[in-house]
């Protein structure tokens, strides 16, 4: 199953391109929004049914895997700092890279433990 966050992002970007893109923003400007402002933006966006469905899938996934809620909060906090799609993709790439590095480190440790266990026998 594909990552719900990536599906959501892809649908969001597709929806933007279908509407003719967005206004050009100053790439050096950092925009930080509070929760109320973000809700207003979401309401104004009139998201497509596909995006609404993907959000529902993400929420269901988080209900099934509550241990990931803190990660989703981290993602939301970082994504709330910009509306520029390219910067949002960079943020996602950074987060995914960090998690992959962490998983690789844990896997290497597991390999060491497995080799140690095999040598003991």
* Average pLDDT of the residues in 57-68: 94
Q: What is the Cβ-side half-sphere exposure of residue 103, based on CA atoms within 13 angstroms?
A: 6
pLDDT band at 21 (very low <50, low <70, confident <90, very high): very low
Q: Which residues of 81-96 are buried (b: 16+ CB within 10 A; e: fewer)?
A: ebbbeebbeebbeebe
Q: Which of 85, 105, 102 is nearest to 25 (CA)?
A: 85
The whole-angstrom separation of Cα 74 and Cα 45 is: 23
pLDDT, tens digit, 9 for 90 and up, residues 26-43: 444 444 556 666 666 666
pLDDT, tens digit, 9 for 90 and up, residues 43-57: 656 667 888 888 889
Q: Which of 90, 86, 97, 95 is nearest to 13 (CA)?
A: 86
Q: Is the pLDDT of residue 100 over 90?
A: yes
């Amino acid at each position: 199953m594909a990552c719900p966050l990536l599906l959501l992002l892809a649908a969001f970007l597709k929806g933007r391109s279908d509407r003719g893109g967005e206004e050009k923003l100053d790439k050096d400007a950092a925009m930080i929004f509070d929760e109320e402002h973000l809700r207003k933006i979401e309401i104004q966006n009139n998201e497509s049914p596909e995006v609404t469905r993907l959000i529902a899938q993400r929420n269901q996934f988080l209900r099934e895997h509550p241990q990931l809620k803190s990660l989703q909060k981290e993602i939301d906090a970082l994504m709330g700092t910009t509306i520029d799609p390219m910067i949002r993709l960079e943020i996602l790439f950074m987060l995914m890279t960090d998690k992959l590095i962490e998983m690789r480190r844990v896997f290497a440790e597991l390999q060491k433990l497995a080799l140690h266990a095999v040598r003991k026998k």
